[in-house]
């Protein structure tokens, strides 16, 4: 059942704007067909809205999204916006930039970091840790939400990012994302990258909650795709519920 108490988040609003510009309906390849819940993008029988967590964080997420990413049911930037309250989302275009994005990057309360593999970046721009020396600045992680070829093009052709430090992640684990597959195990989906960033920023509970939310969403998505009921007592669901309970428990 859709939770109508929460207003649409940044990715949901971007999706609505993108649909308004479409000349024809967007049809996702493969996956589920028919009616979808507007709150979680799943078929109504597998709706997750009642389980959706939301975690207050000091860190923010800024999603630069390739043209059709907000329309894809498998897009995990949506899951970040579900969980992290301070999530901003902007469509990316080569020849124009949203003035609101430039204003966000210039806002003195934020320290922006472009999250991108270090092998493609000049060494003087690279950082591997999140600075905590300035208490007046909160980390803002800029995630290029796209396929890998699109993300590389976005990185090269976004001059407004050129003066910002680049955070290069070196996680020990491999990606467990199942909805779209990369040929490389060290390529993470956007939600996994956001979880790693939150952990670096000292927001471990938010990082674990986002990872659990991705796991639960993935399970429901795949069960719906194969017309099977979700496991309401599975490990991912149990972990998510435990994290929500821990967050709500009085100290």
30, 178 contact by CB (below 8 A): no
The closest alpha carbon to 61, from 164, 189, 195, belongs to 195
- DSSP letters of 86-128? SEEEEE-BTTB--HHHHHHHH-TTEEEEEE--GGGS-GGGEES
Would you give the distance in Å from CA 137 to the centre of its chain?
Answer: 22
> What is the number of residues in the chain?
251
| Strands of 126-127's sheet in order across | 87-91, 60-65, 138-145, 110-115, 166-167, 126-127
User: pLDDT per residue over 46-104, tens digit each?
Assistant: 999 999 998 999 999 999 999 999 999 889 999 999 999 999 999 999 999 999 999 99
Q: For each of the chain's 251 residues, which pLDDT tens digit applies?
A: 444 457 899 999 999 999 988 766 555 555 556 688 999 999 999 999 999 998 999 999 999 999 999 999 889 999 999 999 999 999 999 999 999 999 999 999 999 999 999 888 888 999 988 987 787 899 999 999 999 899 999 999 999 999 999 999 876 644 454 445 544 444 688 999 999 999 999 999 999 999 999 999 999 999 999 999 999 999 999 999 999 888 776 44
pTM exceeds cut of 0.75: yes
The closest alpha carbon to 187, from 76, 71, 91, 101, belongs to 76
Whole-angstrom distance, CA of residue 39 vs CA of residue 220: 14
Long-range contacts, stretch 12-20, CB < 8 angstroms, 24+ apart: 12/38, 12/78, 12/81, 13/89, 14/65, 14/70, 14/89, 14/90, 14/91, 15/70, 15/71, 15/78, 17/91, 18/67, 18/68, 18/70, 18/71, 18/91, 19/71
């Amino acid at each position: 059942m859709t939770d109508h108490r929460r207003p649409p988040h940044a990715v949901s609003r971007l999706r609505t704007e993108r649909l308004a510009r479409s000349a024809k309906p967007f049809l996702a390849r493969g996956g589920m067909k028919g009616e979808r819940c507007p709150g979680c993008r799943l078929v109504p029988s597998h709706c997750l809205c009642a389980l959706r967590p939301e975690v207050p964080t000091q860190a923010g997420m800024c999603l630069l999204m390739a043209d059709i990413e907000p329309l894809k049911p498998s897009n995990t930037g949506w899951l970040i916006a579900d969980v992290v309250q301070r999530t901003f989302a902007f469509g990316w275009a080569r020849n124009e930039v949203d003035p609101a994005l430039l204003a966000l990057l210039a806002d003195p309360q934020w320290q922006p970091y472009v999250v991108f593999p270090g092998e493609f970046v000049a060494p003087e721009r690279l950082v591997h840790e999140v600075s905590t020396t300035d208490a007046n600045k909160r980390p803002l992680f800029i995630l290029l939400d796209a396929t890998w070829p699109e993300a590389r093009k976005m990185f090269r052709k976004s001059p407004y990012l050129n003066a910002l430090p680049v955070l290069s992640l070196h996680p020990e684990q491999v990606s467990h994302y199942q909805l779209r597959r990369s040929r490389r195990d060290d390529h993470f989906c956007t939600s996994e990258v956001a979880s790693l960033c939150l952990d670096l920023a000292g927001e471990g509970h938010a990082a674990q909650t986002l990872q659990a939310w991705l796991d639960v969403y993935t399970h429901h998505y795949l069960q719906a795709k194969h017309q099977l009921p979700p496991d309401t007592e599975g490990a991912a669901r149990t972990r998510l519920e435990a994290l929500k309970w821990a967050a709500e428990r009085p100290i």
